[in-house]
Structure 1
C-alpha cells in the first residue's frame, strides 16, 4: 500500500504531524509512506527513518503551477491513501486525482469561531496531534503513548529515537533556553519581560542561558542579550537539527506560542509555554512532555485571534503586558515539583 501524508506548513504543524507518521508506520510496517512538505521545512524529516520519501513542495510557485502539474498526463503518481492534514487549496489541488481514499483534517472552524468571537473557553479540548491522528479511521488503536519526533543524526546512527527513552529526572535549571520570538506581535511577550525573567534567574539560580530562534528572531534576541551580559544569542545561527541538539543539552525551554515549543516537546525537554492573544484550547500545547502554561486569564478579550495579530485590537495588550517574571517562575516551579 502507498500512503501520502500532506502537511505543507508551517514548522510547528509539521513537527506536530510526526506523531501521525510514527503511528502509520506502526500500523503499516511494510507500506510505502511519503510526506509532502514545503521545502523550507523538509529538514524536519532529514533523519527520520519512518518515511520512504519526502516530497518538497515549492510554495514560491503559484497554485496554478501545481494544478497543471497535478493534471499533467505525464504525472504517474498515485496513492492508495492520502492523508491531508493541511486541508487548504494547495493541498486539495495537489491531491486531486492522486488518491483512491482521501482523508482530510477537520479544521474545526465552528469551534474556533466560538473561541474567538464568543469566548466560549473550555478545559475539555484535544491537542492537535490527537486531532491529526483521528483524521485516519482506527489509527488510535496503534497509539504507543509516545510523543513527537525530530530525529537527529545521533538518533539515526543508534537506530532508535533516544528522547522516547528519557525519564523525568530532578530538574536543576543549570541550562535554560529561551525562545522570545514569534511570527506575530500578539503572540510575543515583550523583550523587556524576558530581561526581567533573566535577571530574576540570576538572583535565584546560577543558570547558563541561551536565546534560540530563526533569522527573523535575531533582533529581539539581540536586544535581550545586550541587556543581559553573559546570555548568548544563537538566533539565526543554527539550523533546525542543530537547534534540536542544543535543546537536548537544556534542562528547560521557555517559549512563546511558537514552533520552539514543539521542538522541545519532540526532544522531550520540559517546556514553559507563554500564551498571549491565543489560548491552549486551539490545541498547540506541549505534547507528552513535562510542561507548564503561563497565560493571563484576567482579560476577557482572549482569544482575539487563532493565528496572532500584528497589533493588539484594543491597544492595551494586557494579555502579555500583565504577565510577570514571577508568573513564569511559578510555572517553572510547577514543573520542578513534577520531577521531585
Structure 2
C-alpha cells in the first residue's frame, strides 16, 4: 500500500485443528503487544470456526490450499490479497514451507517464524523452536514469550443452547474415541469397557467426535447401552459447548483433548504411540495423562501412524481400562 504506513498483525496457522487451537493464545498476546492495531488470523477452512467470534480478532481469513488457493497460482493470488491489506507483520506458528512461501510472496515487512520451519529463509525474524516448552509456550515465543494459558473458544448463545438441548441435565462423562491416526487411538474395546462400567454405575456417558468417528462410536454405544452418541452431530463450537457441560473427558491424544482443555474441564488423556513430552499434553491441576511408559518402541512417530510398525500395538493394548476408570472416578470424587 503506497503512501500508507503498514499496520496490524497477521497470525498464520493452517495445520491440524489442535495446532490451530494451541495458537489461539497468540491472538491475545498480539492484541496486548500491539494495542490499538488490528489482528487477523489466516487458517484453513476447517479450523476457521474455532476462531470465530473472537473479541481480539478483526477477521478470520482462509487459506483454501486444497480449493480456491490450490497450486502456485492460488498461492500467489492469495499473497497479492495479503499484500494489499498492508500488514506490518506476519507471525506464523505453522512450520510449513507453503505458508512460509506465501508470506514471503506477500511482501509483509516483518515475517516471524520458527528457525526450524521448512523454508525458514522466508522469515526475517527467526525464533528458536524450544522442544522443552509446551506448544502454547513455544508459540508465545514468537511474540516475546509468555506463560502457558489454556486456549479459548467463543461459541454463540445459540450454540450453547443447542448443547444444552442435546446433553443430559445431570453431570456426564464425555468420551472422544477417535483420531485420524490409528496408533493414537486407544483400542475401542477399552473405551467400550470404560463406558460399560460407567453405565453400570449409573453414569451418563456422551460420545463425541466427527463424522469419521461414527463407526467406532456406534460399536462402543452398542457395547454400553444407554450411551448418548453425538459423533458427527455437533459443529466444532457446539462440541466445545457440550464439553463445557461435561464433568470429565476421556480422550486420545487428538483434537478433543485440546478442546477439553479449552473448555476448562478435567481431561484424562490416553497417550499411545506419542509422548506427552512432545509438548501438547494437558497440564491443568485436574488433568491426567495415562501411558505405558516403559516401551522401547515408543514413540514410533511424531504424529502417529496408520498401523503399528511392530504389529503388536502394546502402547495401546497394554494400557488397561481400569487405569482410565480410576482416573475418571477420582475426578468425579467417587
Name the TM-score, length of structure 1 as normaliser: 0.83
Q: Does 1:234 align with 2:230?
A: yes
Q: Does 1:130 align with 2:141?
A: no
The equivalent position to 1:15 in structure 2, one of 15, 21, 24, is: 21
Unaligned ranges ≥5, structure 1: 110-123, 158-172
Query: In the alignment, is the contact (CA less than 8 A) between 2:65 and 2:75 conserved in 1?
Result: no
Partner of 2:188: 191
Residue 326 and residue 82 in structure 1: after superposition, are their counterparts in 2 closer, same or farther (change >3 A)?
Answer: same
Q: Does 1:182 align with 2:185?
A: no
The Cα shift of 1:63 comes to: 3.3
Partner of 2:46: 40
Query: In the alignment, is the contact (CA less than 8 A) between 2:252 and 2:270 conserved in 1?
Result: yes
Query: In the alignment, is the contact (CA less than 8 A) between 2:79 and 2:103 conserved in 1?
Result: no
Q: Does 1:6 align with 2:15?
A: no
1:128-173 deviation per Cα after TM superposition (whole angstroms, max 9, x unaligned): 0000001223x42xx5x6421011124999xxxxxxxxxxxxxxx9
Which runs of structure 2 are paired with 1:152-167 in the superposition (5 Å)?
A: 152-154=155-157
Could you tell which deviates more after superposition, 299-308 or 97-106? 97-106
Partner of 2:63: 57
Partner of 2:85: 77
Residue 37 and residue 69 in structure 1: after superposition, are their counterparts in 2 closer, same or farther (change >3 A)?
Answer: same
The Cα shift of 1:210 comes to: 0.6
Q: Does 1:88 align with 2:96?
A: yes
The equivalent position to 1:256 in structure 2, one of 239, 244, 252, is: 252
Query: In the alignment, is the contact (CA less than 8 A) between 2:97 and 2:117 conserved in 1?
Result: no
Partner of 1:30: 36
The Cα shift of 1:53 comes to: 1.1
1:79 match: secondary structure: coil
The Cα shift of 1:232 comes to: 1.3
Output the CA distance in 2 between the equivalents of 1:207 and 1:79: 52
Partner of 2:280: 284
Residue 258 and residue 174 in structure 1: after superposition, are their counterparts in 2 closer, same or farther (change >3 A)?
Answer: same
Output the CA distance in 2 between the equivalents of 1:28 and 1:212: 38
Aligned residues: 304
2:109 match: secondary structure: strand
Unaligned ranges ≥5, structure 2: 1-6, 119-130, 161-169
The Cα shift of 1:33 comes to: 0.4
Output the CA distance in 1 between the equivalents of 2:284 and 2:58: 26
Partner of 1:317: 313
Query: In the alignment, is the contact (CA less than 8 A) between 1:36 and 1:57 conserved in 2?
Result: yes
Name the TM-score, length of structure 2 as normaliser: 0.84
Query: In the alignment, is the contact (CA less than 8 A) between 2:9 and 2:88 conserved in 1?
Result: yes
The Cα shift of 1:296 comes to: 0.6
Query: In the alignment, is the contact (CA less than 8 A) between 2:248 and 2:332 conserved in 1?
Result: no
Residue 182 and residue 107 in structure 1: after superposition, are their counterparts in 2 closer, same or farther (change >3 A)?
Answer: farther
The Cα shift of 1:6 comes to: 0.3
Query: In the alignment, is the contact (CA less than 8 A) between 2:199 and 2:205 conserved in 1?
Result: no
1:219-254 deviation per Cα after TM superposition (whole angstroms, max 9, x unaligned): 100111111110011110110111111111100011
Which runs of structure 2 are paired with 1:91-170 in the superposition (5 Å)?
A: 91-96=99-104, 97-106=106-115, 125-137=132-144, 139-140=145-146, 146-154=149-157
The Cα shift of 1:268 comes to: 0.5
Residue 292 and residue 74 in structure 1: after superposition, are their counterparts in 2 closer, same or farther (change >3 A)?
Answer: closer
Q: Does 1:219 align with 2:215?
A: yes
CA RMSD of aligned residues (A): 2.5
1:102 match: secondary structure: strand
